[in-house]
Amino acid sequence: MAGIYIYSDKKDIVAELINFAKESEKEACVITFKQEDAEAIKDFGAEKIYVLKGSSQVPENYGKAVAELLKKQDADLFAVGATARGRDIAARTAGYLDCGMVSDVSSLSYREGTVISQRMMYGGTVIQSEELKGLCVVTVPAGKFEAAVGGETVEIITIDVEADSRVRLIETAPVLREGTDITAVDTVICVGQGLDKKEDLQLAQGLADVLGAEIGCTRGIAEERKWLPVERYIGISGAVIKPKLYISMGVSGQVQHVVGIRDSKVIVAVDLNEKAPIFRAADYGIVGNMYEIIPLLTEALKNA
Amino acid sequence: MSYIIACYKWVVDEADIRINPDLSIDTKKSKGKISDYDKNAIEAAVQAANILGGKSLGLTFGGPETRLSLKDALSRGPAEGCWISTGEAAKADAAVTAKALAAAIQKISDVSLVFCAEGASDTYARQTAPRIGAILDWPVVTSVSKLDIEGSTLTAVRKLDDCLQTVKVDLPAVVSVLPEINDAPIPGLKAVLAAGKKPVTEIKAEELGIDFSPKTDVTEIKGYLMNRKNIILSEGEAADKVKELAAYLRKEGVL
Ligand SMILES: Cc1cc2nc3c(=O)[nH]c(=O)nc-3n(C[C@H](O)[C@H](O)[C@H](O)COP(=O)(O)OP(=O)(O)OC[C@H]3O[C@@H](n4cnc5c(N)ncnc54)[C@H](O)[C@@H]3O)c2cc1C
| Per-residue model confidence as pLDDT tens digits over A192-206 | 999 999 999 999 999
Query: For the stretch A259-288, what's the b/e string if a residue is b when 16 or more beta carbons lie within 10 angstroms of its beta carbon?
Result: bbbbebebbbbbbeeeebbbbebbbbbbbb
What number is the average pLDDT over the span B76-80? Answer: 98
Nearest protein CA to atom 4 of ligand 1, as residue: A256
Selecting from A136, A265, A286 the residue whose C-beta is nearest the C-beta of B254 gives A265
As for how many domains chain A has, the answer is 2
CA-CA distance, A7 to B55, in Å (whole number)? 39
Selecting from A9, A94, A126 the residue whose C-beta is nearest the C-beta of B25 gives A126
Q: Could you tell me the CATH number of the domain that includes residue A25?
A: 3.40.50.620
Confidence category of residue A42, pLDDT binned at 50, 70, 90: very high
Does the residue A109 lie in any domain? yes
Residue of A nearest to B118 (CA): A84
Does the residue A175 lie in any domain? no
Domain ranges, residue A87: 4-160
What number is the average pLDDT over the span A78-105? Answer: 98
CA-CA distance, B208 to B211, in Å (whole number)? 9
Chosen from B228, B235, B244 to mutate, greatest number of chain A CBs within 10 A? B228
Residues of chain A with pLDDT > 70, as a percent, come to: 99
Q: Do A148 and A199 share a structural domain?
A: no
CB contact under 8 A, B249 and A268: yes
Nearest protein CA to atom 11 of ligand 1, as residue: A218
Q: Give the per-residue pLDDT at B56.
A: 98
Q: Is A252 in the pocket of ligand 1 (CB under 6 A)?
A: yes
CA-based max dimension of chain A: 67
Q: Do A107 and A8 share a structural domain?
A: yes
Q: Give the per-residue pLDDT at B89.
A: 58
Q: Do A260 and A156 share a structural domain?
A: no
Give yes or no for residue B91 having a pLDDT over 90: no
From the CA of A290, how far away is ligand 1's center (Å)?
Answer: 15
Does the residue A154 lie in any domain? yes
Q: Calculate how close chain A gets to B199, using CA atoms only, in Å.
A: 31
CA-CA distance, B139 to B166, in Å (whole number)? 15
Q: Do A298 and A195 share a structural domain?
A: yes
Amino acid at A244: K
Does the residue A268 lie in any domain? yes
Q: Do A55 and A16 share a structural domain?
A: yes
Q: Is A291 in the pocket of ligand 1 (CB under 6 A)?
A: yes
Does the residue A273 lie in any domain? yes
CA-based max dimension of chain B: 69
Q: Give the per-residue pLDDT at B109.
A: 93
Does the residue A71 lie in any domain? yes
Q: Do A217 and A289 share a structural domain?
A: yes
Selecting from B166, B221, B243 the residue whose C-beta is nearest the C-beta of A128 gives B221
Q: Do A245 and A283 share a structural domain?
A: yes
A 10 A CB-CB count for B134 gives 25
CA-CA distance, B101 to B83, in Å (whole number)? 10
Q: What is the mean pLDDT of chain B?
A: 95
| Per-residue model confidence as pLDDT tens digits over A206-242 | 999 999 999 999 999 999 999 999 999 999 999 999 9
Q: Could you tell me the CATH number of the domain that includes residue A264?
A: 3.40.50.1220
Q: Do A296 and A233 share a structural domain?
A: yes
DSSP symbols for chain B: --EEEEEE-EEE-GGG-EE-TTS-EE-TTPPEEE-TTHHHHHHHHHHHHHHHT-EEEEEEEESGGGGGHHHHHHHTS-SEEEEEE-S-GGG--HHHHHHHHHHHHHHH--EEEEEEES--TTT----HHHHHHHHHT--EEEEEEEEEEETTEEEEEEE-SSEEEEEEEESSEEEEE-GGG--PPPP-HHHHHHHTTS-EEEEEGGGG------SSEEEEEEEPPP----EEE-SS-HHHHHHHHHHHHHHHT--
Q: Do A217 and A154 share a structural domain?
A: no
Residue of B nearest to A177 (CA): B162
- In chain B, positions 185-204, which contact chain A (CB-CB < 8 Å)? none
The ipTM of this complex is 0.95
Q: Do A138 and A8 share a structural domain?
A: yes
Q: Do A152 and A51 share a structural domain?
A: yes
User: φ and ψ at B7, to 5 degrees?
Assistant: -85, 135
Q: Do A127 and A15 share a structural domain?
A: yes
